[in-house]
Structure 1
Amino acid sequence: MAGPPKKYARNEQQSQGSSNGSSSASRDPTQRSIPRLDGNRDPIVKAIDYTKPTDLKNISEFLGISGWYTARGIEIPHALPHRPKNFNQYGRECGIMLNTFNVVKTPNTVVHQYDLNYTGDARDYTKRVLLKKIWNSNPVKAALGEPTNLWVWDGNRLSWSSKRLDREDTRITVDLDAEEGRPTREGARGNKHTIHIRWTRQVDFNHMQAFLNGQASWSTECIDTINFLDHVMREWPSQQYTQIKKSFFQRGEQRFDLGGGIEAFKGVFASLRPVLDDRFQKSLSVNVDVANGTFWRAQELTRAIGQVFNCTPPQFSQRFKEAKRDWKNSILKKDLRRFKRVGVSTTHTKTPTQWTIDEFVNMDANEATFPDPDDRQPDVDPRRLRQISVSSYFRQKYNINCMPGVPVVRMTKKIRKGPVYMPIDVLKIDTNQRYNIKLSDTQTSSMIKFAVTLPRDRWAAVQQGVRLLNWPSDPYLRHYGLQVSPNAAKVKARILPSPTVHFGAGSKEPTIKPQDLIAGRWRLDGRKFAINNKDHPVKAWGICCIQGRGSPPVQAVEAFAQKFVQIYEGHGGLIVAHPQHGKKPWMGPGNLSDGGEMVQKVWNQTGNRYAMPPMLLFFIVNDRNVDVYRRIKKSCDIRFGVASQVLQAKHVMSASPQYISNVCMKVNAKLGGATSVTKSQLIPKVAPRSASIPTMVVGADVSHPAPGAASTEAASFAAITVSLDPNFVKYWAEVQTNGNRVEMVTTANIDNHFGYMVKNWIQKIGQGRAPQRVLYIRDGVSEGQYAAVLEEEVKDMKECFKKLGCKDMPKFTVVIAGKRHHIRFFPDAGKGDRNNNPLPGTLVESGCTHPFEFDFYLCSHVAIKGTARPIHYQCILNEGEWASAELQQFIFEHSYQYVRSTTPVSLHPAVYYAHLAADRARAHLNDNPVSSGKKESKADQQSSTGSSSKQNVEIAPLMAMQNARGLKEVMWYI
C-alpha cells in the first residue's frame, strides 16, 4: 500500500467541499490543504470527543504518525514503517547524555475528564485571556471546590479532576465586571458568562500502559491519557511563571536588550512524550531544554514607539502627518501593525485598566470622537448622542492634555457598540508580552549572541530548568501520582563511519584525511574540484563595482580578478583566454540610481567586449543590503539568464585566498561543477545492490512569511530539488509561490515543476527509464501533517510519473527532516569535539525516539558556535525497502558533499538546497519591481513560521527565469 487509505482522502475532500476525488485535481493554494494544526485546517471527521475539531490543537505534538491517524478517526495504514528490530551496529559506540528525564511512576488514581463550553455576553469565546478570567473567577473556583480539589485545565475546552461533579452538566455564571470590582455601567454591554462543565469520561491509565507494553494499539483513550499527563506537567509551572506554549519564563528574570523596544530572556521548555527510553523500554519521558523568548519591554507606549522607529515624538508626529495623505497604503501604518494584540494598561487612573491594541488609526486625539458618556439619554442609540473628542474628554475628566499630531489607538473591546480610542501617552505596555514579529538584522545578531551557549553552559541551564520546575514540590504531580526522575537519560549512541571524500584528478591530496573528516573541517588548498565547469567554460565575464561609500578602488578590483583567475584555475576551473583580452574580465562601475538598467549596461558592455552573451557576472556591493542583492539577482535570473555572483567590497579589498576559494566553489556550481564527491565504504556491505538501483533523491521545503506586517497577504514559497547525477552531488531546483501559508506543495506546483524535473531526469539520467527508487526528504512539517505529505504530495508525484507514461511506478521512501525540536546531545567527557559537542555522524536511536515508529536523531555536522542541534529524521513510508543502516549512512555521508562548504552540513543537501532556492526565488516576486533606491522589503518578512490567514488570498506566481542559456540546468541558487 503506497500511502494512507482512501478514507483519509475522502474526508479531506468532503471538508473542502470537493466533488472530485481524482488525485490529479489541482489543490488550490488559497485553500487549507491539510487539517488545521499550526496553520492548517481540521477535517470534519471527529475522532476524539472534543467540543470542536479545532480542539485537536490541544493534544500532544508527539504522538507519531499513527497517533495522528487515530486522533482523526482514520484507520492506520499497514504500510507505515515500524521501528527496525535491530539498532545500527556500525561505527563506534559513544555515551551520550540526553536532556530527557524518564517518568518513573504514572497515576493509578481515578481521574475524570470534562468538556467545557461558554456562553454569554462575549462575541468570541476563543480568546484565551477571556477564558482564563472565567476559569480563575471566584464563582468557578468555589463551585469546583478549589483549592481542596486540584483541577487541571488545558486553557480552552478540556479540564480534569479526581472529583466527580454531582451533575452531568454543571453551569456556573460569572460577572467579570463585578469580579474586577467595577459594576457594568448603564447602557454598556454586559460582561456575564456561563461556563458549562460536562463530564465525558474517566481517564484510562491501563489502556495507555497496555499500548506502551505493545499489548494494545493506539486509541483515543490512550491519546486522552497522554494529553492529560502533558497538561498535569504544565499546570503548576503555568501558575508560577509566564507560559508560552510549553515554555515557562520566570518573572523578574534578567533581561537582555535587543534594541527597538524588545528584550530577551531565558526560560525553560518542558514537554512529555512517549519514547523508547534509555533502557529500551516503551515509556514516558520529559524533554527539558532552554527556551529563549523575545518580549516587549514593559514601558510607556510613547517610549516604545520612539525605540521602534528610532525617532523623537516630533519626528514621529511628522511621519504621521506625511502618512495621513495615503494612510491605507502608508509604510507607517504597516509598521505600526506590529503593536496589534499587544496588551497595555492605562496610567491616568488610580486602578489601571487593561486593554488590547487593535490598531493605530489615522486620527489624533483632537480628531477622534466618541459618544459623550455624560450625555445619557435612555432608549437612544449611543451613536446618536453628542460626540466629544478624545482630547476634550481627557482634559475635562482627568485634566490631561493629550499629545497632538500622533495617532490614537483603537482597542479590541467596544463600549456601547462603539470603538474605544485611547491616546498613546496614557498607555503602558504590560509586562511579559511576547514579541512574535520577525527580528531585524541587528536584533537577530544580538539574539544569536544571547541564545548561543556552549554545551557545558546549556547543560547547566537544563539543570537549572529542572530545579525551576521543581517536580518533587509540584502539588499537581503529587496529587495525581506522577513522578519524574531527576536524573537525565543516558544512551549508547553510535558514531557512524565517515565516507571517503574525493576531489578531482591532479589534487595534491585527492581525499580528506580521516582526522579532518572527524573534526568536520578541511581546506581546499591544493585540491581540484571533483567536477569542474568543462561543459560551461568561462569565455565572457565581467565585474561591476557598485559606486558609493566603501566601494573598492579600481586597482583592488583588478587585483581581485587576477587572484580569482589564479585560484579558480588552481582548483581546476576553466577560463578560456580571449585573443585580445586574455583572461582579464570586463570591469566597470555601476550606479544603483540606474535601477534595473545598471545590470543591462553591465550585460551589454561585457557582451560587446567579447562579442557574445556573458556567461558570468560579478557585482561588488558595499554592504549587506538584501534589497540591492535581490534586485541584482532578479535582473540576472529573469531578464538575462546569466550566472551571477555578488561580492562584498570589504572582502574584495582583503582578497584572502580562503574567501576566494569559497567564491570559487559557488561559481563552479553555478557553471555546472561540484566541489567533492563521497564514496561509501559501508553501504556496499550493508546493501550490496544499492549502487545498481537507479535512484532519484528529492528534497522539498515550504517557507512562509513571518508573523507581522502584511504577512497575511505575503506569499509562501514551495521549493523542490531533484538529484541530477548518479552520485547525488548536483541538484536541479524549481521554486514557485504556494498561496499564503499553505503548507502542502500544491498539485499545480508538483505537476509543473516536479514533473519538469522528472522528465529531465528520465531523458538525461535514466536514459529513457524512470528511477526504480525515489527518496523524498521533506522538511518543515509537524507530526499532524505527515499524513497529508503522503496523501497529497506523494500521490501527486506518482501522478507525474504516470503522466510521463512510466509503466513501473518508482518505489517511494519518504523521510521527514525536523529541526524544530529540543533534543540535544551531551557526550561523555573527552568523547566529543573541543567544545564537547557530538562528533559528526553521532546517531541516537533510543532515549528520545518514538516507541514504535522508524525515527532517529543524527548530528552530521560540527557546531561552529553553541550547542549542536541534531536533525530528527522520521521515515513515514518505505516502499523502497531501505535498510535502516543504509538510510542513516546515506543521509550522513551526503552531508560531506555539500557544494559550497568545506564542512559536513547539518541537514541532507537536497533539503538544504531547497532552502537556498526558496530564499533566492524571493527576488523573483512579481510585486517587487526593479528600481532605484532603498525599498521596503516584503521578502524580509518571509519565514517558515506563523499561523494561517483566515481569508483566501490571491498570490501571483513568480516571474519565469530566462533559460535560453541553460541557467535552470545548473545550480543557479547556490
Structure 2
Amino acid sequence: MAGPAKARAQAEKKPSASSDSQPSGETGQRTTQRSIPRLDGNRDRLPGLHAVDYTKHTDLKNLSEFLGAGGWYTARGFEIPDSLPQRPKELNKYGRETAVALNTYNVIGAPTRIVHQYDISWSKSVDPTKRGLIKKLWNSKAVKSQLGEPQNLWIYDGNKLAWCSKLLDREETRITVDLDQEQGRSPKPDKSNVHTIYIKHTRKVDFAALQAFLDGRASWSTECIDTINFLDHVLRERPSQIYTQIKKSFFQKGEQRFDLGGGVEAFKGVFASLRPVLTGDLKKILSINVDVANGTFWRPQELLRAACQVFRCSSAPQFIQIVKDARRDWKNSYVRRDLARFNRVGVSDFHRKDTRNQWTIAEICQKDAHEATFIDPDDPEKKREISVYNYYKKKYGITLTSGIPVVKVTKKIRKNDVFLPMEYLKIDENQRYNTKLSDTQTSAMIKFAVTLPRDRMKAIEYGVRLLNWAQDPYLLHYGLKVSPTQSKVNARVLPSPAVGFGPISKPSTVEARDLVAGRWRLDGRKFIGPNTREIGAWGVCVIQGKFGASKEQTQAFVNNFIRIYEGHGGRFNTSNAAPGRQPKQPFISPGNLADGGELVAKAFNSTGNYFNSRPMLMVFIVNDRNAEVYRRIKKSCDCRFGVPSQILQSKHVISNSPQYISNVCMKVNAKLGGCTAIAKSVTIPKIAPQSVGKPTMVIGADVSHPAPGAGSNEKASFAAITVSADTTYTRYWAQCQTNGSRVEMVTTQNIKDHLGDMAKMWMQRVGQGRPPQRVLYIRDGVSEGQYAAVLEEEVRDMKNVFAAIGVQVPQFTVVIAGKRHHIRFFPQQGDRNGNPLPGTLVETGCTHPFEFDFYLCAHVAIKGTARPIHYQCILNEGKWEAAELQQFLFEHSYHYVRSTTPVSLHPAVYYAHLAADRSRAHQNESPVSSGKKEAKPPQTSSGSGKSVEVRPLLELNKQQGLKEVMWFV
C-alpha cells in the first residue's frame, strides 16, 4: 500500500492491536521490520487521528478488508466515534421486491477447540522484507520438527503471527536453522547461513469475543479482530500450499492460458475472503465472498523472445537495431522505459546443461556483452576484468550475439554487480505481471475477463470446488464449516425517476419501460438545457494522413452535426455571419501533427482570422486513438487558449452516423453550458418531504494515481474536486491539481484553493448569496483503512474552507463509493443477459452487520456481469434518511450528460474521475511553445521515501470562463 513520505504526512507511532503491545521483535539481537509504505494522508500533522505507521512488526497489513470503519478504528487503538452512522433499523421499503443470489457462502460452524496465537520474529541476519527467505526458514526441517508438524497443523501469516492448537512448552521458543545444512551444501567462508526464529506465545484466540460482537453484546475489540484474522488465514492456508497465491486469489497451475501479446498471458483463478455480514433474515454471521480472479502473468519463455514481443520485433536483429537507436539518448528513451517492466522478474539461466540458477532482474542495461565487464573469478589475484562476452567464450565455449543488452541481476558476488546475457535466460513460470497493460493488451484482457452472469456463476462454482472446503484439512482440524450453497436475499428494485427532456417549461418524459431497460434514444428529443453560449465562431481542424477524412466527408459530417444539434435544441449565433458566407458553418482547416504544439495554435488563429472573432469551439478530427496527440490538443485548448474542444476519430466522421453525432452533441452541449436531461424525483418527496427544500451542495472527489510499473513512484498523482452547479444537480464544476506522488488524501492546499473557489461560485449562482445547509460529499477510491483519514483530514479541511469564507459551516454527510470489490448480483428475474435491473438495491447478505452500507446497481451492463457500487455512509450530520440517500444516489445516475443510460456511479464522482484523468494533459512537462520560462518545480515525496519533482499543473485559461462549464466531459 503506497503512501506519503515524511514531507506529506508524518505518522505518529501508535500501539497496534494485532498482538501484544510490546512486540517481541524489538529487543536484543532481533531485527526490526524494514519500513513498509504507510497509508496515504495529506500533508498535515493531525492533532488527533494519524495515518497508521507500518514500521513496526505489529503492522495491520494482513487484516481483512471488510472490518468497516469501526473495525479499523479499533485496530489502530482509537475509540469508535459516536458520529459513525449505524445501520438503519428498517430496510428500504420502496420499489418492488426481487430475489437475488449472491456470490457469498455462509459459515455454518465455528471452531470449538482452543487455538493459541504466537508472535514470530527473527534474528538480525534475516531481512524481513525477503519473503522467499522467510518462507524457506518456516518450512525448514528444523522448524517443522520442533513445532511437531505434520501432527500439529500450524498456520503462519508469512509476516508476524502464527497460530496452532498446540501450546508450546516454553513461553518463548528459539529455533536455529542452518540453511546450508538443510540444503546439503557447503557453507561459504565469508557468509553465515544460520538464522534464528523466535516464537513467543501471546494469547488464546478468543472466539467468545467474536460471537459477542456478532450477537450485538459487545463492540469491536482487538481480540475480535485477531479472531477474524485467524479464520481468514485458516481459509487460505491449504489453497496457498497447492495453488499460486496472489493476496487472496489462487491460480491453479496448468490452467488454460490466454495470450494477451507482448509476452503476457492471462488465466482465471478464484478469490476468497472472509467477512462478517448481515444475512437476509437479519442475523449477524461470518460469510465468505468467492469470485473469479483474472490474473495477468509473464509467459514462461526465453527472455530475449519476450523482449522482442514487447517491441513487436519478428527477429533478434530487429531488436538489436531498436536498442542501438535508443542509445543516443538512453536515459530518456522509450526503449529503456519499456525494458524496465522486466525489473524484479525472476529468471533462470540455461547456458549449462547440468545446473540452472535462478536470478531476479535488477535492470536490463544498455551495454552489450562486449561492454559489460566484471572481475574475472578465475584470476588468482581477483583484479583482472573480463567482459561477459569473453568469459562465456572461455568458460562455456559460447559465442554471444553482439548488440543484445546484458541483464544486471539483484544478487551481488563479492560486492560486485553480476551481468548475465539476455539470450541465455528464461522467465520463470507463474510470475504476476504488475505493469499497466497496453491498449491492445487491455482490449484482449476485456475479451478474456468479460463473461455473462451465468458463465461467471459457473466459474465461481468451479472455484468453490477448487477450494474444497469439505476436505480442507485445516478447516476440518479447527472445526470451521462453510455452506456449499450461495446465499440468497430479498433485494429491492428502486422506483425510477421521471427523466425529462426540453423545453424545461414543457418537458417530454422517457417511457417507463425504457427507464427500466436502462437505455433510450435521443431521436426527436431536445436537451433540457441547451447551450448557454451560442456557437458563433468555430473551427474544425482535420489532421492529415493515412485514414484521414476528406474535405467532402468532413463537410458532410459538419452539415449533419448542425442539423442534428439544432434538432436537439442547440443554438447557433448567425448575427455575425459575413456577407456571402453560409451561417452556422465552421472554418475547416487542415492540420499537420509535425507542427507539434503549434498545430492547435494555427487552427485557432486561422479560425479567429476567418471570423474576425475569438473562436468559442474547436473541433479536431484525428486518425486514431493516440493518447499523446489527444493530450497535446487538450493541453493547448484548455491551458493556452481557454477554448472548449471536441476530438473526433476520422472513422466516425466518415461513417457519419446520426446516433454518433447525437452523442457528440451531448458533449458539445455540456461544454457550452448546457445539460442533457433532468431526473425529477417522484419518490424522495414521499420519503423525506422536509428535505426537498433544503439547499444542498453535492461534492465529488477522486485522486488518480499513475499506473503501476517502472517509474510510477516518481510520477504525480492528480486530485479532482467537483461541485454541483445548479439546484437540479444536472451540471457540475470541476477543478484539479497535482496531489503529490501517490498521496491518496486530497491535500489541504488543493481543498482550500479549489473547493474555496467553487463554494463561492455556488453561493453566488445557486445559493443566492447564502451557503448550503447540507453538503453531500461522495468520495471515490479509498479503502476502509482510509475512511477515518477522509473525515479527519479532507472533511476537516472542507469545513475550514466554509469557515474561512465567513459563513455558517454546512452539515456534512459523507459517502464512500467503492468499485474494487468482488460482490456480484445474480437475480432470479433480471434483464435479457441475466444482470440486475437498474436500481437493484441489496442491503443484506453481503453488507456490514452494524454499519450503514449497501450495494446499488444503478446501470445496465453492456457486456459481462454488472458490478454494483458499494456505498458506505461514514458521517451523517445532514440526517439523510437511508431510503432518501439510496434513492438520491440512484436517481442522479440518470443525470450523466454524456449518455442516454443511467451510469453505475454517482455523476459527481464520475466527473471527478474524468477531470482527474483529463488533468494529465495539463502537466507542466513539455510545455506548449509559448516562449515562457518554467519555474523550478516543487519537491515532494513518494511513498517510497524518494524525493520526487511534482510540478503544479498548467492553469486553465480564464479568458472565456472555461472553469464555469463542463470542460472535462
Q: State if a TM-score over 0.5 links the two structures.
A: yes
Match of 1:576 among 563, 573, 578: 573
CA distance in 1, matches of 2:495, 2:179: 64
Whole-Å separation in 1 of the counterparts to 2:621 and 2:905: 30
Find the aligned partners of 1:832 and 1:405 in 2 and give their Cα distance: 60
Whole-Å Cα distance in 1 between the matches of residues 333 and 180 of structure 2? Answer: 38
Q: Give how far 1:365 is off.
A: 2.2
Letter in 1 for 2:908: A
The 8 Å contact of residues 88 and 884 in structure 1, kept in 2 or not, is answered as: yes
1:131 aligns with 2:134: yes
**8 Å contact 1:509–1:526 — kept in the other structure?**
no
Matching residue within 49, 63, 66 for 1:62: 66
Q: Which residue of 2 aligns with 1:337?
A: 340
State the shift of 1:427 in Å. Answer: 1.2
Give the counterpart letter for 2:424 in structure 1. Answer: V
- Please list, as runs of the form range in 1=range in 2, the aligned pairs for 1:425-504 lying within 5 A after superposition: 425-504=423-502
* Contact kept? 2:264, 2:299, Cα under 8 Å: yes
CA contact 1:51–1:115 (8 Å) conserved in 2: no
Which one is further off, 208-217 or 366-375? Answer: 366-375
1:144 offset after TM fit, Å? 1.2
Aligned equivalents of 1:588, 1:40: Cα separation in 2:
47
Matches within 5 A, 1:502-513: 502-505=500-503, 510-513=508-511
Inter-CA distance 71–638: structure 2 relative to 1 (3 Å threshold): same
Q: 1:230 aligns with which of 225, 229, 232?
A: 232
Aligned partner letter, 1:737: T
The whole-number CA distance in structure 2 between the counterparts of 1:46 and 1:197 is 31
Aligned residue for 1:742? 743
TM-score (norm 2): 0.92
- Aligned CA distance change for structure 1 residues 604 and 48 (closer, same or farther; 3 Å): closer
Q: 1:532–1:48: structure 2 CA closer, same or farther, 3 Å change rule?
A: closer
User: How far does residue 667 in structure 1 lie from its aligned partner after superposition?
Assistant: 0.4
Structure 2 SS opposite 1:486: coil
Deviation at 1:49, TM superposition (A): 13
Contact (CA 8 Å) 2:100, 2:826: kept in 1 or not? yes
The one-letter code sitting in structure 2 at the alignment partner of 1:573 is G
Aligned partners of 2:342 and 2:361 also within 8 Å:
yes
Q: CA deviation at 1:931?
A: 7.7
Contact 2:9–2:42 (Cα < 8 Å) also in 1: no
Partner of 2:255: 253
Q: Is the 8 A contact 2:743 2:942 kept in 1?
A: no
- What residue in structure 2 maps to residue 772 of structure 1? 773
CA distance in 2 between counterparts of 1:14 and 1:186 reads 43
Give the C-alpha shift of residue 51 in structure 1.
9.0
**1:39 and 1:948 in contact (8 A); partners too:** no
Aligned to 2:899: 901
Give the match's secondary structure for 2:123.
strand
Distance 2:324 2:599 in 1: 35
Partner of residue 93, structure 1: 97
Conserved 8 A contact 2:11-2:51 = no
Kept in 2, the 8 Å contact 1:703–1:716? The answer is yes
Q: Distance in 1 between matches of 2:345 and 2:764?
A: 56
Match of 1:519 among 517, 520, 523: 517
- Decide whether the 8 Å contact of 2:361 with 2:410 is kept in 1: yes
Could you tell me which amino acid in structure 1 is paired with residue 357 of structure 2? Answer: T
Q: Say whether residues 1:956 and 2:959 are aligned partners.
A: no
Distance apart, 1:579 and its partner CA: 4.5
Partners of 1:818 and 1:894 lie apart in 2 by 17
Equivalent residue for 2:661? 660
Shift of residue 375 of structure 1?
Answer: 3.8
Deviations 1:587-628 (A, max 9, x none): 111111112222112111211222211111111111111111
Alignment-derived partner of residue 213 in structure 2:
211
Deviation of residue 493 (structure 1)?
A: 0.2
Alignment of 1:774-793 (within 5 A): 774-793=775-794
Matched, 1:393 2:396: no
Judged with a 3 Å threshold, the aligned counterparts in structure 2 of structure 1 residues 79 and 12 are, in CA distance, closer, same or farther, namely farther
> What percent identity do the matched residue pairs reach?
67
Note the C-alpha offset of 1:357.
Answer: 1.0
Say which of 165, 176, 181 aligns to 2:179. Answer: 176
Query: Helix, strand or coil: the match of 1:900?
Result: coil
- Give the superposition deviation at 1:184: 3.2
| Residue 137 (structure 2) pairs with residue 107 (structure 1) | no
How far, CA to CA, are the matches of 1:132 and 1:365 in structure 2? Answer: 35
Residue in 2 aligned with 1:816?
816
The residue type paired with residue 213 of structure 2 is F
Contact 2:263 2:306 in 1 (8 A): yes
Q: Please name the residue that 2:966 is paired with.
A: 971
Q: CA deviation at 1:422?
A: 1.4
Separation in 1, partners of 2:918, 2:551: 29
Match of 1:196 in 2: 198
How many residues are treated as equivalent by the alignment? 923
**1:154 has 2:154 as partner:** no
Q: CA deviation at 1:694?
A: 0.4
Alpha-carbon distance, 1:195 to partner: 1.6
Counterpart residue number, 2:370: 366
Contact preservation (8 Å) 1:403, 1:423: no
> What displacement does 1:555 show?
1.1
Q: By how many angstroms is 1:513 displaced?
A: 0.4
Aligned position for 2:535: 538
1:507–1:527: 8 Å Cα contact kept in structure 2?
no
RMSD of aligned alpha carbons:
2.4
Spell out, residue by residue over 1:443-483, the C-alpha distance to the aligned partner (whole angstroms, 9 max, x if none). 00000000000000000001000001000010000001111
CA distance in 2, matches of 1:268, 1:528: 48
Assess if the C-alpha contact under 8 Å between 1:732 and 1:757 holds in 2. yes
Secondary structure, in 3 states, of the residue corresponding to 2:296?
strand
For residues 811-850 of structure 1, the aligned pairs below 5 Å read 811-828=811-828, 831-850=829-848
Q: Is the 8 A contact 2:40 2:745 kept in 1?
A: no
What is the rounded CA distance, in whole Å, between the counterparts of 1:190 and 1:102 in structure 2? 49
Deviations 1:190-214 (A, max 9, x none): 3332221111111110001001101
Q: Is the Cα contact below 8 Å between 1:362 and 1:407 reproduced in 2?
A: yes
- In 2, the alpha carbon distance for the partners of 1:301 and 1:285 equals 43
Give the distance between the partners of 1:40 and 1:674, measured in 2 at CA.
Answer: 34
Contact map agreement 2:40 2:743 (CA 8 A) in 1: no
Report whether the alignment pairs 1:722 with 2:719.
no
The whole-number CA distance in structure 2 between the counterparts of 1:787 and 1:430 is 41
What is the CA distance between 1:390 and its match in structure 2? 2.4
Partner residue, 1:554: 551
Identify if the C-alpha distance between structure 1 residues 522 and 507 changes in structure 2 by more than 3 Å, giving closer, same or farther: farther
* Alignment CA distance shift 1:38-1:144 (3 Å): farther
Distance 1:781 1:353, change over 3 A: same
Report the CA distance between 1:392 and its aligned residue. Answer: 2.9
Residue aligning to 1:24: none
Alpha-carbon distance in 1 for matches of 2:606, 2:520: 39
> Partner of 2:195: helix, strand, or coil?
strand
Task: List runs of 5+ in structure 1 lacking aligned partners.
Answer: 1-9, 17-33, 378-383, 933-945
CA contact (8 A) 2:105 2:485 kept: yes
CA drift at 1:361: 2.4
Counterparts of 1:313-324 in structure 2, within 5 Å, are 313-324=316-327
Cα distance change on mapping 1:182 and 1:873 into 2, 3 Å: same
The amino acid across from 2:825 in the alignment is F
Alignment partner of 1:529 is 2:527: yes
Note if contact 1:495-1:839 (Cα within 8 Å) is conserved in structure 2.
yes
> Is the 8 Å Cα contact of residues 437 and 707 (structure 1) preserved in structure 2?
yes
Alpha-carbon distance in structure 2 between the residues aligned to 1:367 and 1:620: 47
Change (3 A) 1:46 1:610: closer
CA distance in 1, matches of 2:387, 2:42: 43
TM-aligned CA deviation for residue 145 of structure 1: 1.2
Stretches of structure 2 that go unaligned for 5 or more consecutive residues are: 1-7, 15-35, 931-940
Query: In the superposition, relative to structure 1, how do residues 406 and 51 fare at CA in structure 2: closer, same or farther (>3 Å)?
Result: closer
